[in-house]
Amino acid sequence: MADRKKAKSTTQVQRHRAIKNQRKRKDGTVEITYHPGVYINEHTTRKHRGQPDECYYICYRHKSKLRWEKVGWASEGYTPALAENIRAERIRAKRHGNDLPVKNRPSPLFKTVAGRYLQWLKDNQKGTVADQNRYDNHLEGPIGNTRLDEIDPAILEKLKKNLFGDGLSPQSVKHVLGLIRRIVNKAIDLKLWGGTNPVRKGSLPRVSNTRLRFLSQAESQALIEACNDHLKPIVVTALSTGMRRGEILSLHWDQVDLEHGFIFLEKTKSGKRREIPISTILKETLAALPRDPEVPWVFYNARTKEPWKEIKRSFASALEAAKIKDFHFHDLRHTFASHLVMNGTPLATVSQLLGHSDISMTMRYAHLAPEHQAAAVDSLMPLFPSGDGSVKMVEAAPPATEELKERKAGKARKGKKKPAKKSPRKTAAKK
């Protein structure tokens, strides 16, 4: 054995090449067996079969770097020969393309991958305000310092219970859990973690998406009159286009074509490009807005030269002044769609204007046009003989008396058996 050097700890000494045994031959020479690439550490206190316990390591090159791998202790049944065989398997796998074992890395913290996800949203110019607020208010404290492999259904159920206890609606809780799912999916895509997503569809609360609040014509006019100078064009744009709040507040002038009358949205919620016609009122409203060559946004703060981030206060003040209750900014989108349907616009056209990925999302407005559904059914009237939609049953005339007698006589003749004809040969023989 090589001479020991001062150990770094009480259980580790200098690594040295392992020797299987030293056996004397009959001629007096000593046979020494080496195991290339196999090294040992001797335990300073633990014994195995009366000798210091040995831990075997193997060493090989991978991608031009020297790589060390622990095999195991002699007390666990490992031997230098077994360690040498494992090293040979590693070298064979390296040469023939098989994957080598990867060291187990600790699972990343949730706050680490959440930061990467939010940065990805910012880099790709996606809406980060809502997700950032959800993370700051509902996730950073409860699970920010939790590792991804520790987030299980029990932790999620506890989080869900606490969110409901804080007064959040089922839709808000669903948004928070959906954010967790998106963060973990992004960690898997970036190969920061190799596990499975703990948020399943079954764990999301069920939401009844039946609320459909929209303004009447009088309420719409009252709301527009109650808006201040910076809010009024935003509300007019929402009522004229059905655009979402984020789409409106991030709108650039290069997306607006006043000459041809279109607004072009490249990045939408559904991921599809959308072209929205500009009405006459909206065209006049946009043309009257002040424009700064250094500011690309349509709606911006004249003092800070930055786009409006939030309009909750001013919108709430306008609702209060117009005496409108139970109404949100997103309901302006419902107002746009509802009045289109009530004015006879086909649902397929409404779906395209709203940018719905599936027309089933637009079917929530179908009940607003019962008269159009009735007109569609009435359009089938020409299919019927009367032409007025009713089906007239033509009664057959009763048969005459003589015809009845003939029918009865025919049935009687069919019921009688005809007499058998006599054979002419038999008749001749009798004669």
Using alpha carbons, list the distances in angstroms from residue 79 to 51, 54, 82, 309, 391. 14, 9, 5, 67, 96
Segment 4-56, tens digit of pLDDT: 444 444 444 445 555 555 566 666 666 666 778 888 888 888 888 888 888 88
Domains of the chain, by residue range, sit at 16-96, 110-203, 217-373
Segment 369-406, tens digit of pLDDT: 666 666 666 666 677 665 454 444 445 455 555 555 56
Segment 82-125, tens digit of pLDDT: 888 888 888 887 777 665 555 567 788 999 999 999 988 888 76
Annotation: CATH topology of 217-373: hpI Integrase; Chain A (1.10.443)
Look at residue 241 and tell me whether its pLDDT is greater than 50.
yes
Q: What is the rounded average pLDDT of the residues 189-201?
A: 81
The better pLDDT of the pair 332, 407 is held by 332
Query: What percentage of residues in the chain have a pLDDT greater than 70?
Result: 72
Q: In this predicted structure, which of 88-92, 335-339, 423-427 has the lowest mean pLDDT? A: 423-427
Residue 402 CA to residue 385 CA, distance in Å, equals: 33
To the nearest whole number, what is the mean pLDDT of the chain?
Answer: 79
Q: What is the rounded average pLDDT of the residues 184-191?
A: 88
pLDDT value, residue 13: 45
Q: Which of 243, 223, 405, 401 is nearest to 314 (CA)?
A: 223
Look at residue 206 and tell me whether its pLDDT is greater than 50.
yes
Contact 137, 163 (CB under 8 A): no
| 334 class by beta-carbon count within 10 Å (0-12 exposed, 13-18 middle, 19+ buried) | buried
Q: Which of 260, 157, 246, 139 is nearest to 199 (CA)?
A: 157
The better pLDDT of the pair 2, 204 is held by 204
pTM, rounded to two decimals = 0.53
Contact 221, 203 (CB under 8 A): no
Segment 272-296, tens digit of pLDDT: 788 899 999 999 999 999 999 899 9
pLDDT value, residue 8: 43
The better pLDDT of the pair 344, 162 is held by 162
The better pLDDT of the pair 285, 269 is held by 285
Q: Assign domain 110-203 one CATH number from 2.60.40.10, 3.40.190.10, 1.10.150.130, 3.40.50.300.
A: 1.10.150.130
Look at residue 191 and tell me whether its pLDDT is greater than 80.
yes
pLDDT value, residue 412: 57
Q: Quick one: residue 389, left, alpha or beta (phi over 0 = left, psi -120 to 50 = alpha)?
A: left
pLDDT value, residue 238: 93
- The catalytic site residues sit at 244, 269, 330, 333, 356, 365
DSSP sequence for 352-407: HHHT-SSGGGGGGGGGG-HHHHHHHHHTTGGGSTTSSS--PPPPPPPPPHHHHHHH
- Tokens 């009088």 -> residue: 218
Amino acid, res. 216:
S
Using alpha carbons, list the distances in angstroms from residue 145 to 62, 287, 404. 35, 51, 99
The better pLDDT of the pair 63, 228 is held by 228
Residue 333 CA to residue 324 CA, distance in Å, equals: 16
pLDDT value, residue 4: 43
Look at residue 261 and tell me whether its pLDDT is greater than 60.
yes
